[in-house]
Chains A and B, each alone.
Chain A
Amino acid sequence: MSKIYDVVIIGAGPAGLSAGLYAGRSRLSTLIIEKAREGGQIVNTAEIANYPGALEGDSGPSLIERMKAQAVHFGAEIVYDTVQEVELEGKTKTIKGLNNTYQAKAVILANGAQPATLGCPGEKEFTGRGVSYCATCDGAFFESLEVFVVGGGDAAIEEALFLTKYARKVTVIHRRDALRAAKSIQEKAFANPKIEFMWDSIVKELKGEELLDTLVVENVKTGERTEVKADPEDGMFGVFVFIGFRPQTELYEGKVRMENHYIVTDDNMNTDIPGVFAAGDIRAKSLRQIVTAAADGAIAATQAEKYLNAEAG
């Protein structure tokens, strides 16, 4: 079997890269495992405005590139693999990936969260063919067409406002009869002549030929179903989904203590398993931002070092 790392970090978003930087600087042998590309959710962000020290015009990828360079500079290794299974109990932890198996004395779980999906038929099939979770990526395709935005929080309504730059009409589909978004954002939306609302409604199905052109909504109060078809002149429309986030904790179900699918830690990022720490959006906490993810990562790495020193006695 290959080498046993001091610390293996799962996930290379701000939490994982920050943990990698601190662990590397402490001269711990450190491996970061990333399934896709570094950054996590922030690669979907075109502009980082509220991270201390972020430069004007910094995008998610450019900020992450610097975080990655810094972690690597201090000795952290990064490998691309998809973790399939973990064994976290005991002194040596085993992480089984698609390509390799890794072993570590301490593990930092920094898998983060991903946009929640509707979970209705047609959603997966039409992703990239009308269904989107990223307005800045895909909004421009719907210039002078119709789009629907699913959700009622800050993100949903801000994205609806953004999409009015391109779309002819934006219909917000929300499962309640009032928005959750901040009042200032709501006021802008209600004042925008391009935005309409479909209240008490949930999306049940998405359909089309090659591109999305039909959606089925259900009124949650009456149970009535309505089929909405694209204008025949357009032949297609867009559905943008912003219904919150889901922590990436499926791997740890039944192994690590969780609350509402988020991992529970103490102030030092300890989970209920010795030598296993959690950092970033995967944790149960009040504020999920780049700055709090980075802070979690630093604490987790520092505590991992303490744990290793104590174990070495």
Chain B
Amino acid sequence: MILKKEEECIVLQVDKDTFGKEVLEAEGYVLVDFYGDGCAPCEALMPSIEALSEKYGDKIKFTKLNTSKARRLAISQKVLGLPVIAIYKDSEKVDELVKEEATASNVEAMIKKIYITE
């Protein structure tokens, strides 16, 4: 039997204690998937984000934050509605897609835009 390796999960789970180090202080671009418990659209979007992480994981760091366990942190990041897919660089949120706008194709377009403007 072949065991699945841990590193196949390339969307890094962050929490209120690690968000600073893994997102704000990280080098380069970091994508954050803000989701929450009981948020059905977030659940529906997650597989697309995982698929995009396989495609773009070498260019951009993929992370996810469960806001149900980090409510204050989410509000401090001006996130009050889910799902939100945001891109950070040098501790600043540089782009984001909120709720209905947060679709697989829009997220991919947002990622591509970074490389066009770079």
Contacts and interface: CB of A to CB of B under 8 A. Distances in A.
B96 to A, nearest CB: 9
Interface string B29-53: 0000000111111111100100000
A48 to B, nearest CB: 10
B84 interface: yes
Contacts of A44: 40-41
Contact of A80 (B43, B71, B98, B105): B105
Interface stretch (B2-10, B14-22, B73-81, B110-118): B73-81
A143 B71 contact: yes
B39 A137 contact: yes
Given A37-B45, A64-B44, A137 B81 contact: yes
A61 B44 contact: yes
A39 B40 CA distance: 11
Residue with the highest number of chain A CB atoms closer than 10 Å, among B44, B74, B84:
B44
A211 interface: yes
Interface in A164-216: 210-212
A140 B44 contact: no
B99 interface: yes
Interface string B90-118: 00000000111001110000000000000
A60 B40 contact: yes
Contact of A37 (B44, B67, B78): B44
Contacts of A38: 44
A80 B51 CA distance: 15
Q: Which of A45, A60, A138, A236 has the most CB of B within 10 A?
A: A138
Contacts of A60: 40, 44
Contact of B38 (A37, A129, A132, A136): A136
* Most interface-central of A38, A43, A60, A212 (chain B CB within 10 A): A43
Interface residues of A, number: 35
Interface residues of B, number: 29
Contact of A137 (B38, B75, B104): B38
Contacts of A212: 80
Nearest to B99: A128
Interface string B50-90: 00000000000000000110010011001111111000000
Contacts of A134: 39, 41, 81-82, 99
B41 A128 contact: no
Contacts of A143: 71
A290 B51 CA distance: 28
Nearest to B39: A137
Given A80-B105, A127-B98, A141-B74, A238 B40 contact: no
Given A141-B71, A143-B71, A43 B81 contact: no
Contacts of B99: 127-128, 133-134
Q: A39, A137, A140, A238 — which one has the most chain B CB atoms within 10 A of its CB?
A: A137
Nearest to B48: A37
B81 A39 contact: no
Contact of A128 (B38, B84, B103): B84
Interface string A96-136: 00000000000000000000000000000001111111101
Contacts of A37: 44-45, 48, 103-104
Interface of A: 35-39, 42-46, 59-62, 64, 80, 127-134, 136-138, 140-141, 143, 210-212, 236, 238
Interface of B: 36-45, 48, 67-68, 71, 74-75, 78-84, 98-100, 103-105
27 contacts: A36-B105, A37-B45, A42-B40, A43-B40, A44-B41, A45-B40, A46-B40, A59-B40, A61-B40, A64-B44, A127-B99, A128-B79, A128-B82, A131-B81, A134-B82, A134-B99, A137-B38, A137-B41, A138-B81, A140-B37, A140-B38, A140-B71, A141-B71, A141-B79, A141-B80, A210-B78, A236-B75
**What are the nearest 8 A-B pairs in CB distance?**
A128-B81, A128-B98, A61-B44, A36-B103, A137-B39, A43-B44, A137-B82, A61-B43
